[in-house]
Amino acid sequence: MKILVTGGAGYIGSHVVRQLGEAGHEVVVYDNLSTGHRWAILSGTLVEGDLADGERLDAVFEAHRFDAVLHFAAFIVVPESVAEPLKYYANNTRNTLGLLERVQRFGVPHFVFSSTAAVYGMPEQSMVDESAPLVPINPYGASKMMSERMLMDLGVAGGPSYVALRYFNVAGADPEARIGQATPDATHLIKVACQAALGQRERLQIFGTDYPTPDGTCIRDYIHIEDLARAHLAALDYLAGGGASAVLNCGYGRGYSVREVADAVRRVSGVEFRVDEAPRRAGDPPALVADNTRIRRELGWTPAYDDLDRIVADAWRWERKFANQ
C-alpha cells in the first residue's frame, strides 16, 4: 500500500513508519519537524511541511495516489492545552479538518487516526471501554474528540473507512534502540524516571499519594510503543480487508501505579534516584485502564511486550543511548 503518515517523524509516528517499511509498504512522511526528528524516519521519504499549508498538502495528494492516511500530527501536552487552548484547536482539530477535506477530495479509501484516552476525561469506572461517555476535561482531549466526530460524520457521508485508536499511556522504545522518545521536556512518567536515574533530572515527582489505590498513587495502563505500532498495521490490514469503521482502545487491560513504575526503573537500571511527593494535579483520575476486548476481537491484536520491566528496559536502553548522542 502507498501510505501518507502525518507526524511520522515524532515518537509514535516514527515507530509506525519503521514497521510499515519493514512490512513492505511505500511510505510518505509529512512532518513540519517542530517536535519530530529527521533522523527518526527509518523508512519512506520525508516531505517537510505543515498541515496548515493547504497548497503544500494539495501538492502531496496530487503527486501520489494514497491507499491510506495515518494521522499522528498533533500537539499533546495537556497543561499547555489548558494555557493555550486555541493553539490546540487550531492544530489538532482545524488541521485535521483540512486533512480530511483532502482525503475526501482525492478519494483516499482508508484513514487511521491517533486518538487518546483523554477523550474519556474522568470516567466513573477505572476499567474503561469504548462505550464510556466522552467528557474530556482539557482542550487536548476535546480537540481529539472533535476530530473523532468529524471522522465519524464523514464516514457516514460516504468518506473513508476508518479506525480511531484511543491510546492509553505509551512508553518504551524500539527494542534495538534505533529510535525512541526524544521530545524535549517530555512529561511521560517512564521517560522522566529514566532521566532521573541518569542524573538528567534532579528528581522524580509523584503527584498525589492519597488516591484510593493500593499504594495511594495513580494507576495507569502502560503500553509498549512496539505493540501500539503493530495495532496501526493491524488496523490497516483490517480496513483493507473490508472491515467496518471502528473506535478501539489501545492498552493492555491492566495498570501499574506511579510507585510501581519508579520501582521498576530502579530495578532495571540498578540506580537509586530521588523521588519527591507533591500534591495532586487537577484532573488526574485515580485509575485509568483500557478494556481492550474490542481491539483484540476486531483486529486480532495480541500484545507481545506486555511486561512492565520489558517496557522500562527498552526505554532505559534508549535513554542511555540518546543521552550520548
Beta pairing class for 2-6 and 161-167: unpaired
Query: 139-179, pLDDT tens digit by residue?
Result: 999 999 999 999 999 999 999 999 999 999 999 999 999 99
Strand partners, 71: 6, 113
| Cα–Cα distance for residue pair 80/46, rounded to 1 Å | 28
In this model, does residue 325 exceed pLDDT 90? no
The segment(s) of the chain belonging to CATH 3.90.25.10 are 172-221+253-324
What pLDDT does 263 receive? 98
Query: 107-121, pLDDT tens digit by residue?
Result: 999 999 999 999 999
Which percentage of the chain shows pLDDT scores above 90? Answer: 94
Cell triple for 3: 501510505
| Cα–Cα distance for residue pair 231/294, rounded to 1 Å | 12
| Cα–Cα distance for residue pair 300/322, rounded to 1 Å | 34
Average per-residue pLDDT in the chain? 96
In this model, does residue 184 exceed pLDDT 80? no
Q: Does 172-221+253-324 carry CATH code 3.90.25.10?
A: yes
Could you say which DSSP state residue 307 is in? -
| Cα–Cα distance for residue pair 133/130, rounded to 1 Å | 8
Which CATH fold would you assign to the domain 2-170+223-250?
A: Rossmann fold (3.40.50)
| Cα–Cα distance for residue pair 248/236, rounded to 1 Å | 13
What pLDDT does 284 receive? 85
In this model, does residue 186 exceed pLDDT 90? no
In this model, does residue 137 exceed pLDDT 80? yes
Which percentage of the chain shows pLDDT scores above 70? Answer: 100
Cα angle: 281, vertex 287, 290; to 5 degrees? 125
**Residue 185 Cα to chain centre, angstroms:** 17
Q: Is the dihedral of CA 174, 175, 178, 182 positive or negative?
A: positive
Phi-psi region of 223 (alpha: psi -120 to 50; beta: other; left: phi over 0): beta
In this model, does residue 48 exceed pLDDT 90? yes
- Quickly state the pLDDT bin for 85 (edges 50, 70, 90): very high
- Quickly state the pLDDT bin for 78 (edges 50, 70, 90): confident
In this model, does residue 129 exceed pLDDT 80? yes
What pLDDT does 124 receive? 87
Query: 279-299, pLDDT tens digit by residue?
Result: 998 878 899 999 999 999 999
For the chain, what percentages of helix, strand and coil (3-state, to nearest 5) are there?
40, 20, 40
Cell triple for 158: 460516504
**Alpha-helix runs per DSSP H in the chain:** 11-22, 54-63, 78-83, 85-88, 95-105, 139-156, 189-197, 225-240, 258-269, 293-299, 308-324
What pLDDT does 131 receive? 97
The segment(s) of the chain belonging to CATH 3.40.50.720 are 2-170+223-250
- Quickly state the pLDDT bin for 304 (edges 50, 70, 90): very high
Q: Which residue has the cell 467496518?
A: 244
Q: Looking at this protein, which amino acid is placed at residue 256?
A: Y
Residues tagged active-site: 140
